[in-house]
Structures are given as C-alpha cells and as structure tokens.
Amino acid sequence: MPEWSVTEPRKLTFEEPVRDLHVRVVNGTVNVVGTEEGSARLEVSELEGPPLVVTQQRGTLTVAYEDLPWKGFLKWLDRKGWRRSAVVSLAVPAGTRVEVGVVGANAFVSGLRGPSTIKGVTGDTTLVGLSGPVRADTVSGNLEAQAVTGDLRFNSVSGDLTVVEGAGSSVKADSVSGSMIVDLDPEGPTDVRLTSVSGEIAIRLPAPADADIEANTASGTISNAFDDLRVRGQWGAHKITGRLGAGTGKLRATTVSGSIALLRRPPRDEEPWEGRAGAEPGPTPGAAPGPVDGPAGGAGDNFPSGPGDA
C-alpha cells in the first residue's frame, strides 16, 4: 500500500484510479475539485504540527491525521494539545465518492457527480455545482450550497444553512438554533423539509411555483408573498397552508420560536434588461435589488443574501 508522510508543503500526483476520497483535517482549509481527468492530484501548501498521512489502497485515497478517525468525528478533541493546521487542495475525477471531515477548518467542494459526505465541528463549508447526493453534519459550522442539483441533507446544532439556486429534488434540514435560507429554482417537483427549534426560516419559491405548502411556527412571526396561501393562527401559533400550481412538490417548514418567511422569485421569463437584444442599459451593477412583490407584513423584504443577513 503506497503511503506518504507529509511534513512540509508538497505536491503529489496519483496515476492509479481514485474512486473514493477521505480527508480529515484540523484547522486550515480543504479544497476538493472534481475534474474530467483520470488522475488525482494533491497539494499541501501549508502545514503546521504533526504530519499528514497520505495513503492509496484499492481505489481509496486518504489524507488525514493518524489520530483523527472518521467514526465519532464530531466528538473529537485534540487531547494532546498539538497546535496543527493544514491547507490541502485536491483535484479528483468528478465521479469520486468524497468524505471530508474538518475540525475548525473551512471546506470548499465543487464540481462532483459522486456522493459527498461532509462533517464539520466549527468550520464553514461551501458546496458549488454538486450533482450527486450530499449529506452534511456540523456542530456549529455553517453550510452554503450553490447550484447543487443533487439531494441535500443537512443536520446541525447551531450552524446556519444557505441554499442559493437550489435545483435538487430534495432538501432536508434539521437544526436546533441555526437559521435556514433556502432559495429554490428547481426544474421539477421538489421535496423540502426544514425543521428548527429557535432558528429563523426563509424560503424563496419560483414563480409560478408547484408545491403543496405547510409551514408553522409556535411563537414566531409569519411572512407570506403568495395570495393563494392561507395564513392562520391564534395565540402565538401561526400556520401557512395551501397549494401553488398543481401541488406536485412538497414544502414542510417547522420552527418553535423562530420566524418563517415565504418569498417569491421573479418569473423565469423576466430576463434582466441587459440580457435582451437591443435593450436599454440595465441598472448599475451592485445596485440594491427592488422589493419582492407581496402583501404587507414583511413579505416585501429583500431576500437575505447569507446567514449574516437573516
């Protein structure tokens, strides 16, 4: 079994096929990019503390610390008190199955067609252009997913979830206190299920939308941009129910004390002026967007751009 002990910045190329990638890093950054090349490449550009052990066996490439197992990863503590950090970048075939574990490190994963599993303790994770199924578990780390077309499952204690241009058939998320901002732009029916105890939930749906809706909060506020939906509530509880379009998809959102907002995306046929032939120049880039159409009561607020804006 080929094995390398990486003690300083180094580059490695792996000619043997890679079908599975396992990465476990403490502090620093992990970058994983899917490519159409047959080989895999690794670059460790910064390294502090104990060595990273790199192994390749039966199609599985592993980059990790010896004392950091995948099992029980989210409960791992560095009892030996080593100060460690690494900046690791990998390019692997796009169909590779990927497992990334980060403790205090940030992870960026893009361009993969295979299944991806992310575990993070305090580091933030960014996912871009993944078409395979994704499972992400964090303690307090935030997750941002952009243009992810595979099924997305997210579990966290206090981490925030941000989905931008979500086009997958399924988004399921559970959190205790983390906020959830989900911007949906699917090609077909979508099954969305979001649950939080005290976190706020904001969902932007396409226009026209096609979903059966049920969203409720025990003591939070409700905002609704769709006239076809009913808002009911007494005492502290509020609920939004109804059907948009044929009701083929499903949307279920539940929070105990957080607020819920249902917002509206612009119709697909409303192209930006600069995208039409012979159109007048559009607004200055970077200008603030206009309000979302909807009834009073908060539905006209701009869609938040990230967890910090929720």
Summarised one tens digit per residue, pLDDT across range 18-43 is: 999 999 998 999 999 999 998 999 99
Q: Are residues 250 and 190 in the same domain?
A: yes
Q: Are residues 180 and 101 in the same domain?
A: no
In this structure, the dihedral spanned by the alpha carbons of residues 139, 140, 141 and 143, taken in order and rounded to 10 degrees, is 90
Going by pLDDT thresholds of 50, 70 and 90, the confidence category of residue 267 is confident
222 within some domain: yes
Q: Assess contact for 112 and 32: CB atoms under 8 A.
A: yes
Q: Are residues 152 and 98 in the same domain?
A: no
138: pLDDT strictly greater than 50:
yes
287: pLDDT strictly greater than 80:
no
* 74-120 tens-digit pLDDT: 665 655 556 889 999 999 999 999 999 998 899 999 999 999 999 99
Per-residue tokens: 1:
């079994």
Q: Which residue has the higher pLDDT, 278 or 227?
A: 227
Q: Assess contact for 187 and 167: CB atoms under 8 A.
A: yes
Q: Assess contact for 60 and 20: CB atoms under 8 A.
A: yes
Going by pLDDT thresholds of 50, 70 and 90, the confidence category of residue 236 is confident
The chain-wide mean pLDDT, for the chain, equals 85
CB burial string 72-111: b at 16+ within 10 A, e below: ebeebebeeeeebebbbbbbbbbebbbbbbbbbbbbbbbb
Q: Are residues 191 and 231 in the same domain?
A: yes
Q: Are residues 94 and 163 in the same domain?
A: no
188 within some domain: yes
This prediction has a pTM of: 0.82
Q: What is the mean pLDDT of residues 63-77?
A: 73
Q: What is the mean pLDDT of residues 200-210?
A: 91
307: pLDDT strictly greater than 70:
no
Q: Are residues 263 and 146 in the same domain?
A: yes
Q: Are residues 99 and 197 in the same domain?
A: no
279: pLDDT strictly greater than 60:
no
135 within some domain: no
Tell me the C-alpha to C-alpha distance, in Å, between residue 147 and each of 10, 164, 250, 298: 32, 6, 20, 27
Q: Are residues 209 and 158 in the same domain?
A: yes
CA distance 50 to 238: 53
Q: Are residues 106 and 160 in the same domain?
A: no
Going by pLDDT thresholds of 50, 70 and 90, the confidence category of residue 270 is low
Q: Are residues 6 and 104 in the same domain?
A: yes
Q: What is the mean pLDDT of residues 176-197?
A: 93
Q: Assess contact for 103 and 27: CB atoms under 8 A.
A: yes
Q: Are residues 185 and 244 in the same domain?
A: yes
Count of domains for the chain: 2
Q: Are residues 159 and 104 in the same domain?
A: no
Per-residue tokens: 295:
């009834």
Determine the structural domain holding residue 59 and report its residue range: 1-68+86-112+119-124
288 within some domain: no
255 within some domain: yes
